[in-house]
Amino acid sequence: MNNYKPALDYYNYKNNNFNQPTFTKNENPSAIYDPYQGFIRGNMFPDLYNSYKTNQPYALKEDAFTYMDAFAFAAHDINLYLDIYPNDKDMIAAFSEYTLQADKLMEEYQSKYGPLVVSSKTNMVYPWAWDMEPWPWEN
Amino acid sequence: MWKYVKKLQYPVNIRKKDLKMAKYLYSQYGGPDSELSAALRYLEQRYTMPDDRGKALLTDIATEEIAHLEMIASMIYQLTKGATIEELKQAGMGGTFAQHDSALFLTDANGVPFTSAYTEASGDFIADLESDMAAEQRARATYEHLMDLTDDKDVLAPLAFLRQREVVHYQRFKELRNLYLKEKIQRKI
């Protein structure tokens, strides 16, 4: 183990906005990250981002697979936001853009490496492509 | 209904075997504040939410939690892959081997089996959302403990991602609860 000591004092956390009782930057967030930056943080909303143990988010290789995951993640995080703020037009536009981009990247990935969903066109082949390795837990 | 996507929400590629860490990770697999508890509690509670915002939010967060359960399982799988019986014994996993071999049975980090008592559903949407806020905070705290227990970047990166998701979910539940209180929303029976 290193000499790291857990920070037990909530209020000395960097960016510990989510634990503040008066934090209200909910509707119309001041900004969102781009999908890659949001994905490596696990959070599309800079107003809400709160890191632990490291000041730098862990970088991921910037390849097509990461971008596919990143766009899907971006759309999903905005999806959760829109569930409770359904009238935010800018966010609906961002959701739509990222979803279309994620779908496009997923199509491209599947045509190269095989199906990610059973209903993929790349699964309508002989022999049955769905069984092809790898499964998600196998690295 | 649900559809399976044959990938993880965030990549898990662990190169170094670490049986002790795998054992600790069971806390988020079948423990009280695990991803499974979270997924099931939100699925239980969505039927008694007072409006579409609550039904949508609980459905979508529950779905994400199932994807997180798969990430935790993948981490345990990769951390224990190729372990010998001797290594399992040394890591305190001899009992796990005796009962389950290398199967991913649902227990917490101490081998206590999963129970639906970990989920909570009162039928009162404010009580439920406040309990969900607490559940997200407890899961965040657990992820911080898990991050304290390792220095392996392959393990830390997905843990940091999962911890951050608890922060976002907590905020969304809090916002929804505040909106319901502000708007004096009541559930139609």
Q: How confident is the model at residue B13 (pLDDT cuts 50, 70, 90)?
A: very high
- The CA distance from B20 to B39, in Å, is 26
Q: Are B75 and B155 in contact (CB under 8 A)?
A: yes
Task: Name, in order, each residue with C-beta under 8 angstroms of B134's C-beta and a sequence gap of 6 or more.
Answer: none
CA dihedral B163, B169, B170, B173 (to 10 degrees): -170
| Contact criterion met (CB < 8 Å) for B170 and A60 | no
Mean pLDDT score, A13-23: 51
Residue to mutate among A16, A19, A58, with most B CBs inside 10 A, is A58
Q: How do residues B21-74 score in pLDDT, each as one tens digit?
A: 999 999 999 999 999 999 999 999 999 999 999 999 999 999 999 999 999 999
| Contact criterion met (CB < 8 Å) for A137 and B156 | no
Helices (H) and strands (E) in chain A, counts: 3, 0
Of the candidates B164, B140, B162, the one whose C-alpha atom is nearest the C-alpha of residue B75 is: B162
Task: Name, in order, each residue with C-beta under 8 angstroms of B179's C-beta and a sequence gap of 6 or more.
Answer: A84, B53, B185
ipTM: 0.95
- Indicate the range of A2-6, A84-88, B134-138, B164-168 predicted with least confidence: A2-6
Residue A25 has pLDDT above 70, yes or no: no
- The CA distance from B74 to B10, in Å, is 11
| Contact criterion met (CB < 8 Å) for B164 and A2 | no
Distance from CA of B168 to the nearest CA of A (A): 7
Q: How confident is the model at residue B186 (pLDDT cuts 50, 70, 90)?
A: confident
Residue A84 has pLDDT above 80, yes or no: yes
| Contact criterion met (CB < 8 Å) for A26 and B175 | yes
Domains of chain A: which residue ranges? 34-42+61-139
Neighbours of B96 (CB within 10 A): 22
Q: Which of A43, A66, A118 minimises the CB distance to B167?
A: A43
Instruction: Look up residue B96 and give its two tokens.
Output: 């796990």
- The pLDDT, as a whole number, for residue A139 is 79
- The pLDDT, as a whole number, for residue A26 is 52
CATH architecture for residues B19-183: Up-down Bundle (1.20)
Predicted model pTM? 0.93
Residue B107 phi/psi, 5° resolution? -135, 175
Q: How confident is the model at residue A29 (pLDDT cuts 50, 70, 90)?
A: confident
Neighbours of A3 (CB within 10 A): 4
- The CA distance from B189 to A132, in Å, is 49
Quote the DSSP letter at residue A117.
S
Q: Which of B12, B144, B165 minimises the CB distance to A52?
A: B144
Q: How do residues B152-169 score in pLDDT, each as one tens digit?
A: 999 999 999 999 999 999
| Contact criterion met (CB < 8 Å) for A53 and B164 | no
